[in-house]
Amino acid sequence: MAPHQNLIDRSAPLAGSPGVRHLDVAPDTWHGAALDLAAGGGRLLSLWADREPSASVHAAFLCDAAVLVLDLNLPDAGTTYPGLADIYPVAARLQRAAADLSGIRGRDEDTRPWLRHAAWPADYFPLAPSTGGYPQAGQRTVDHYAFVRVAGDGVHEIAVGPVHAGIIEPGHFRFSVVGEKVLKLEARLGYVHKGIEQRFAQMKLRDGHRLAARISGDSAVAYSWAYCQALEGLASANVPVRALWLRALALESERIANHLGDLGALGNDAGFAFGLAQFSRLKELWLRAQQAALGQRYLLDYVVPGGVQQDPSPEALRLMIDCARLVGHTAVEIRSIYDEHAGVRDRFVGAGAVTPALARQLGLLGLAGRASGQDFDLRTDLPCEPYTKLAVNKALRSDGDVAARVAVRFDELAESIRLVQSIGADLPLGAHTLDIGAVAASTTGIGLVEGWRGPVMVVLVAGDNGGIRRCHPHDPSWQNWPVLEHAIIGNIVPDFPLINKSFNLSYSGHDL
């Protein structure tokens, strides 16, 4: 893909982060550059804004097996910039979130707050250098959010949330329906603003991986690996080969645990409690094997700068491989039951369909994208070590319904089980960690890892004295939540829990 003629290439690929380029753009070429990238098939990965050292906006794109970052410098934080939502629909929410955090606003029509929820004063911006900490507690104002209304005879609204049953985080879903048929769904998220990006700026570079792992707890390995990948690139650190293979083992283990849990929950949402019972049993067996080999049931602290926290013993590794073989064999049997059960098939087939054309237009990513014909997986299309040597078999479907997303999960579960066995059998010898070197201030690194939902990205800017000046994490749920709103159209309200679970998007990873 040829860069826009007015772009200025100001960086070679970053050390330790092959395939990443930064290009400066001017305000009058920003939108045109994005158009060029879209015309060439580039995917918008994330968009964020900075207030230090000066006002700027950045957009990262996946294109031509590389990451391209467009950097737009602005005269000041009060200067608006051309929005990208007409090219990439996901940019609308990304720009709204960036405005809430930094005060830097795009010119697109939708200027409603996304993260603020009247939780802090309208003139307070968490990422502005002059804020001096957190806002003072004061009188909460009523937050009148302008949902998009659907008018017509027989149309009424159903409001769900933001408080839900169970322990999931809050999100509000506003259904416009006729009878039980859904005409429109609008989701509102960001109710639990945790101040993650602001908190990163108060931490040391060597400690940030622990916070990264807790951005979305079901993707701890993906986030902590992406963070460490960015940091190690800044330090030009050569991570031991054994450590990289152990990270891949942990990432595939995390994928297995999530797919096992979701396949059970999908069976339960289809009224098939047998599936929930069996997959819950398998997930518990897997978490025990994971704890024995890697030290934790959920791997929140496994990936560390320079390597991994624990090197599994040969015996624990053998037991993990045996468990993977058992889980894989049993999952094949349960899959045949799912496929042959008339009631399950009736609920799965045709529900929440997203055509490949719509998926492409909206930028659907990860396993949900692959179920709608989007042939992209970082493990094969932009692989980091050791995935260049693991030859991952990509799961792909085109129907884009619940059944297709379930099929992709089964395929990816089987492939991750194969990878765990392969990695365990061929694990290189050597150290499992090293002490990374110093990092120069004001340098930028990017980490990118294919988590179980899709691409997880961390942008890391080093500060003075080993601190973090800026850290921007991105979850694929940003791309996929808007697609869920389209997937439910024409379906009935009672099918929403099933369709929602087939995506299983992150509230936490979306609420920074």
Residue 7 has pLDDT above 50, yes or no: no
Kindly tell me the burial class for residue 161, based on how many C-beta atoms sit within 10 Å of its own C-beta (0-12, 13-18, 19 or more): middle
pLDDT at 352: 98
**pLDDT at position 178 over 60:** yes
229 and 353 part of one domain:
yes
- Per DSSP bridges, beta strands 172-178 and 155-160 are antiparallel
Distance CA 137, CA 120 (A): 8
Mean pLDDT of 289-295: 97
From 48-62, 110-124, 307-321, the region with the lowest mean pLDDT:
110-124
Q: Stretch 259-278: mean pLDDT, rounded? A: 97
Task: Flag whether pLDDT at 268 surpasses 50.
Answer: yes
**Could you tell me which residue, 488 or 144, shows the higher pLDDT?**
488
Q: What is the CATH number of the domain that holds 241?
A: 1.10.645.10
Residue 318 lies in a domain: yes
What pLDDT score was predicted for residue 2?
37
200 with 98, same domain: the answer is no
pLDDT of residue 8: 37
The strand pairing partners of 58, in sequence order, are 48, 71
- The answer on pLDDT for 132 being more than 70 is no
Q: Are residues 204 and 98 both part of a single domain?
A: no
User: What value does the mean pLDDT take over residues 465-492?
Assistant: 97
Q: Name 462's Cβ contacts closer than 8 Å, sequence gap at least 6.
A: 205, 234, 439, 440, 441, 442, 443, 444, 445, 468, 469
pLDDT of res. 257: 98
pLDDT band at 15 (very low <50, low <70, confident <90, very high): very low
> Which structural domain, as residue segments, surrounds residue 26?
8-102
The proportion of the chain whose per-residue pLDDT surpasses 90, expressed as a percent, equals 84
Domains: count for the chain? 2
The band of 119, judged by pLDDT with boundaries at 50, 70 and 90, is confident
Helix ranges, 295-433 (H): 314-340, 342-348, 356-362, 366-370, 378-381, 387-390, 402-426
Position 111 confidence tier, pLDDT thresholds 50, 70, 90: confident
**Boundary of a domain, candidates 102, 121, 154:** 102
Residues 171, 188: contact at Cβ < 8 Å? yes
Structural domain includes residue 164: no
The yes-or-no verdict on residue 10 having pLDDT over 70 is no
pLDDT in tens, 349-367: 999 999 999 999 999 999 9
For position 63, what pLDDT does the model report? 87
pLDDT at 450: 97
pLDDT, position 121: 84
**Which percentage of the chain shows pLDDT scores above 70?**
94
CB 309 within 8 A of CB 413: no
311 and 459 share one domain: yes
Each residue of 370-409: pLDDT tens digit?
999 999 999 999 999 999 999 999 999 999 999 999 999 9
Q: Which of 169-178, 191-200, 284-293 has the lowest mean pLDDT?
A: 191-200
Confidence label for 194 from pLDDT (cuts 50, 70 and 90)? confident
In a domain, 112, yes or no: no
Residue 5 has pLDDT above 80, yes or no: no
Say if CB 365 and CB 479 are below 8 A apart.
yes
Q: What was the pLDDT predicted at 374?
A: 97
Q: Is residue 35 part of a domain?
A: yes
CATH code, domain carrying 41: 3.30.460.80
Identify whether residues 307 and 441 lie together within a single domain: yes
Q: Which of 44, 79, 102 is the last residue of a domain?
A: 102
Q: Which of 7-21, 48-62, 124-138, 443-457 has the lowest mean pLDDT?
A: 7-21
Q: Which residues pair with 22 in a beta bridge?
A: 69
Please check whether residues 207 and 97 belong to one and the same domain: no
Assess whether 281 and 402 both reside in one domain: yes
Q: Measured between alpha carbons, how far is 283 from 261 in angstroms, rounded to an integer?
A: 6
Ordered strands of the 181-188 beta sheet: 155-160, 172-178, 181-188
User: Do 340 and 478 have their domain in common?
Assistant: yes
Are 210 and 86 found together in one domain? no
Helix-strand-coil percent breakdown of the chain, rounded to 5?
40, 15, 40
Residue 134 lies in a domain: no
Region of 258 (left: φ > 0; alpha: ψ -120 to 50; beta: rest) is: alpha
* 456 and 318 together in one domain: yes
75 within domain boundaries: yes
Q: What is the mean pLDDT of residues 204-218?
A: 96
Quick one: 77 and 203 in the same domain?
no
Return the pLDDT at 134: 66
Q: pLDDT of 147-161, one tens digit each?
A: 999 999 999 999 998
**Collapsing DSSP states into helix, strand and coil, what is residue 448?**
strand
Average pLDDT over residues 226-242: 96
Residue 278: what pLDDT? 98
Strands lying side by side in the sheet with 43-50: 8-9, 20-25, 66-73, 56-63, 43-50
pLDDT band at 180 (very low <50, low <70, confident <90, very high): very high
Query: 188 with 169: CB under 8 angstroms?
Result: no
pTM: 0.95
What is the pLDDT at residue 92? 96
Please report whether residue 72 resides in a domain: yes
Q: What value does the mean pLDDT of the chain take? A: 92
Is residue 90 located within the same domain as residue 206?
Answer: no
Please report, for residues 49, 216, 247, 471, the alpha-carbon distance to residue 97 in angstroms, rounded to integers and kept in the order given.
9, 18, 31, 15
Residue 311: per-residue pLDDT: 97
The pLDDT assigned to 131 comes to 60
| Structural domain ending residue among the three candidates 62, 86, 102 | 102
Residue 416 domain flag? yes
